Structure 1
Amino acid sequence: MWEKIKHKFQKYPARINVAKKIVELGLRVGPNGKIYCGDVEISDMALARAANVDRRTIRATTQVILQDKDLKKIFESIIPAGALLKETAKNLELGVVEIEANANNPGILAKAATLIASKGISIRQAHASDPELEENPKLTIITEKPIPGDLLKKFLKIEGVKRVSIY
């Protein structure tokens, strides 16, 4: 997907940043060229500040998106993923494990979930950041209760795992 997007904006790096920010935040481009989070309209200025560009770059990016059949299909169908409970997990007495790993290794989520299930703990949320959007992608798993510390070494034994944090 990113190769297609980069190709369309290759002469305009600021527009690539806008497209990445739209995807990263789960925003979509409406047929009217406006930006939405679900059904809430996001102002050009707010997105421009978040993407470190001026508002004209937002307009120019959405125009390119709407004029390109493939990009239009992608950006008109994005939906927000929902709130990640990581920041409030402690207040809710939930557990959090954050795994930094090589994104090219398959099965990391499955193996981590198996370890968590072996302790009889249910997973409430799992979110893997996109390796094309982040230099060090992370898998964040929110659990119904705190993760026991003895799982730390087991998580680190999963092939491709670089770093693990348990909160």
Structure 2
Amino acid sequence: MWSEIIGKFKGMPSQEKVVRLLLERGFQVDGQGHVVSGRIEIPHTQIAREVGVDRRVVDATTEMILKDDILKRVFMNIHSIASFKDVAPLLGLGVIIITPDNAQNIGILNDVTSVISMFNLSIRQAVTDDPFFTDEPKMTVITNDVIPGELVSELRKLKSVKSVTIQ
């Protein structure tokens, strides 16, 4: 699906940059062509500055999104989520960052959560990078308690896991 969306901007690399940013950040495009996060409007000049294009490129991109039924449905309904990765240690929560052997494989999340549950840790949040947007996607798992060293050792034994780090 993502390649179909990006494909609609083939030959328009500046607009593709804008679309990738909107998708990565979960920004919506409202019915008036404004880029929003919830009810907060994000100026097109800010979007343009972030991706290194002119504001008019952002204007043209949002216009194109509103003219295409598929793009319109996607961008009017996408939402961003908060990641607790950086604040979890301050709250006494554990953070495990998993780099999978191959993010396209099936069952990685199941493998990881099965091992975590053996240590009686509750998972507060699990967020994975989309391999379409990230060269080296990772899975971040926030647990209700600090991570014991034995858990890291067990996770490293999984065939689906390339590396494990904790914060």
TM-score between the two structures when normalised by the length of structure 1: 0.94
| 8 Å Cα contact 2:2/2:132 also seen in 1 | yes
CA deviation string 1:34-60 (max 9, x = no partner): 011011111111111222222111111
Q: How does 1:8-27 map to 2 (within 5 A)?
A: 8-27=8-27
Show structure 1 runs of 5+ residues with no match.
Answer: none
Q: How many residue pairs end up in the alignment?
A: 166
Residue in structure 2 matched with residue 98 of structure 1 by the alignment: 97
CA deviation string 1:53-92 (max 9, x = no partner): 22111111111111111111111111122x2111111111
2:110 is equivalent to residue 87 of structure 1: no
**Take 1:155 and 1:17, find their aligned partners in 2: how far apart are those partners?**
36
Residue in structure 1 matched with residue 132 of structure 2 by the alignment: 132
Residue in structure 1 matched with residue 55 of structure 2 by the alignment: 55
Identity of matched residues, %: 40
**Take 1:137 and 1:159, find their aligned partners in 2: how far apart are those partners?**
16
Show structure 2 runs of 5+ residues with no match.
Answer: none
Residue in structure 2 matched with residue 69 of structure 1 by the alignment: 69
TM-score between the two structures when normalised by the length of structure 2: 0.94
| 8 Å Cα contact 2:28/2:36 also seen in 1 | yes
Which residue identity is paired with 1:87?
D
Residue in structure 2 matched with residue 116 of structure 1 by the alignment: 116
Structure 1 runs of 4+ with >6 Å offset = none
By how many angstroms is 1:166 displaced?
1.2
- Give SS of 1:18's match: helix
**Take 1:66 and 1:146, find their aligned partners in 2: how far apart are those partners?**
46
CA deviation string 1:91-125 (max 9, x = no partner): 11110000111111111111111111111110110
**Take 2:41 and 2:138, find their aligned partners in 1: how far apart are those partners?**
29
